Amino acid sequence: MSKLLAVGTVAFDAIETPFGKTDKILGGSGTFVGLASSLFDIPVGIVSVVGGDFPKAHLDMMNSKGINTEGVEVIEEGKTFFWSGVYHNDMNSRDTLVTELNVLENFEPVVPESFKDASIVMLGNLHPATQMSVLDQLNGTPKLVVLDTMNFWMDSALEDLHKVLKRVDVITINDEEARQLSGEYSLLNAAKKIHEMGPKYVVIKKGEHGALLFNDHNMFFAPALPLASVFDPTGAGDTFAGGFCGYLAKTEDISFANMKNAIIYGSNLASFCVEKFGTERMESLNFQEVENRLQAFRDLTQFDIKLS
Ligand code: AMP
């Protein structure tokens, strides 16, 4: 079993979907990664920052799941990162209404001593310079560095993003962002270009259409489970990444063959995340439910065809 260190936002989100609207609720890339990966019963530590307005109960909830929050700095006089978004009828795309960086603006992450030897590091969606600073604080080189990012950072910090990508093994990115980063429409060509930027493995998330894993000439597809009700896709991408990293940390096998299983776990966990608003479903989820749903994934894709 390996230690997993995740850096990302711990945030307030206000979300609107065709099924309803929330006030400020718990969100953030670090929160979703932490909740998903903690299901694998591995040591997980989060590095982030919140303001004095952040309820301690949220950190207590994370601690109760075994997530180490020593690395979550609390700036009493500051305000927590706030993001607000709206989904239209097509829940695969969303518009960001507000991004208030607040305490994130001058965030200097501090990796707790106990996680400096983490073998898997998830650089969750955050300023690429912050992601780089986390890598610089580690003792030695981790076994696997996974990075997630979004268009917001491509628009505002592309140069820093390119720098950190050189030190990354796996990137998880959505299809639209892969096209933006590479300038290629074909996802196959996009993956090739991104591969040249540093990451040996490229995972392209396609929302309700599943995810693709690329490595050299190998390619693998994991479906998303068709669901009767999708309430809120927020955090699905981070949950996917948390599931991917959590499974690899648990199994300590970073081969391409095992990464295929890891993206199935990622898709599986994301299928739970979207069932309720915010973190609600992930907070109540247990590992048995995850295992039970794996069969549905297998049934969805397995077929027996004779090749001549
Ligand atoms: P996802 O739906 O997986 O892409 O992630 C949504 C989460 O990302 C929300 O909970 C937000 O708080 C967080 N988020 C939104 N914008 C940013 C940003 N620019 N940097 C980091 N986290 C963000």
Kindly state whether residue 294 falls inside one of the protein's structural domains.
Answer: yes
Question: How much distance in Å is there from the Cα of 30 to the middle of ligand 1?
Answer: 9
Mutate to test the pocket of ligand 1, among 15, 29, 177 (most ligand atoms within 8 A of CB): 29
Kindly state whether residue 17 falls inside one of the protein's structural domains.
Answer: yes
Question: How much distance in Å is there from the Cα of 257 to the middle of ligand 1?
Answer: 29
121: enclosing H helix or E strand:
strand 120-123
**CB within 8 A of 9, min separation 6: which ones?**
27, 28, 29, 30, 31, 48, 81, 83, 104, 124, 125, 126
Phi-psi region of 7 (alpha: psi -120 to 50; beta: other; left: phi over 0): beta
Kindly state whether residue 34 falls inside one of the protein's structural domains.
Answer: yes
Phi-psi region of 38 (alpha: psi -120 to 50; beta: other; left: phi over 0): alpha
- What per-residue confidence (pLDDT) applies to 92? 74
- What per-residue confidence (pLDDT) applies to 208? 86
Q: Read off the pLDDT of residues 220-274 as tens digits, 9 standing for 90 and up.
A: 999 988 888 888 999 999 999 999 999 999 999 999 999 999 999 999 999 999 9
Whole-number average pLDDT of the chain: 95
- Local confidence band at 303 (pLDDT 50, 70, 90 cut-offs): confident
* pLDDT, average across residues 183-202: 97
Kindly state whether residue 306 falls inside one of the protein's structural domains.
Answer: no
Report the pocket of ligand 1 as residue ranges, CB < 6 Å. Answer: 9, 11, 13, 27-29, 83, 99, 125-126, 150, 152, 234-238
* pLDDT, average across residues 197-204: 98
CATH number of residue 191's parent domain: 3.40.1190.20
Question: How much distance in Å is there from the Cα of 29 to the middle of ligand 1?
Answer: 5
Kindly state whether residue 307 falls inside one of the protein's structural domains.
Answer: no
Q: Read off the pLDDT of residues 105-117 as tens digits, 9 standing for 90 and up.
A: 999 999 999 999 9
Question: How much distance in Å is there from the Cα of 302 to the middle of ligand 1?
Answer: 33
Kindly state whether residue 308 falls inside one of the protein's structural domains.
Answer: no
Kindly state whether residue 153 falls inside one of the protein's structural domains.
Answer: yes
Note down the domain range covering 209: 4-301
Q: How many domains does the structure of the chain reveal?
A: 1
112: enclosing H helix or E strand:
none
Question: How much distance in Å is there from the Cα of 294 to the middle of ligand 1?
Answer: 27
- Local confidence band at 216 (pLDDT 50, 70, 90 cut-offs): confident
Q: Residue with the nearest Cα to atom 14 of ligand 1?
A: 28
